[in-house]
Amino acid sequence: MLVAVSLTAVLATLIPAVQALTRAARSVEKLADTLCREFPPTLEAIRLTGLEISELTDDVSDGVQSAGEVVKQVDRSLGSAKKQAHNVQVTTRSVVSGIKAAWKTLTRRPSISGTNRRSDRLSPSQRSAIALRDSGLDDRYSGGYAASSGKGESPRLRKGEGSGLSGDSEDFEQVSNDS
């Protein structure tokens, strides 16, 4: 009898356990049906979202690259504008200096001593050599220019006159006859 009571007790506890197992099996079946219906579209949505995120990442990277190129171009333009502004400044300074020099030249009083500005830069020996040369030319040709200016001749090329060297007049006659 002890065996019969033990079996009855086991059966009494087994019935609620089996009922719980059947409920669990129905829940698993419902979950499987739900997963079969909902899982593929969800996976597809996740895949599409991943593709869209990838495209957006590419677009953002292209935008950043384009913005970088624009920044470089603006930087080059600013550098070019800076160079042009510097060139304008230098040119303006040059023009102003030129105008000042021209104004000084135009408003300068002539020197009383009669020397020109170039001779001020020469050494004393060079000045004396130029003075001697100029005085020799003035003495030699001063009358000749005035006398021949109406004829359009240079005093160096008139017949019978020349450098004063022997044979000068013959050379001149020979050259004028050849031409």
Q: Is 172 part of any domain? A: no
Query: Residue 54 to residues 57, 68, 178: CA-CA distances in angstroms?
Result: 5, 21, 97
Q: Is 67 part of any domain? A: yes
**Number of domains into which the chain is organized:** 1
Q: Is 131 part of any domain? A: no
Q: Is 147 part of any domain? A: no
The pTM of this model reads 0.37
Phi, psi of 116 (to 5 degrees): -90, 170
Q: What is the pLDDT along the chain (179 residues), one digit of tens a residue?
A: 888 889 888 888 899 999 999 999 999 999 999 989 988 998 999 999 999 999 999 999 999 999 999 999 999 999 999 999 999 999 999 999 999 999 988 888 766 555 555 556 777 777 777 777 777 655 555 554 444 444 444 444 444 444 444 544 454 454 445 54
Q: Are 133 and 147 in contact (CB under 8 A)?
A: no
pLDDT for res 112: 56
Q: Is 105 part of any domain? A: no
Q: Is 141 part of any domain? A: no
Strand, coil or helix: 161: coil
pLDDT for res 53: 96
**Dihedral angle sign, alpha carbons of residues 43, 44, 45, 47:** positive
Domain region containing 64: 9-91
pLDDT for res 118: 56
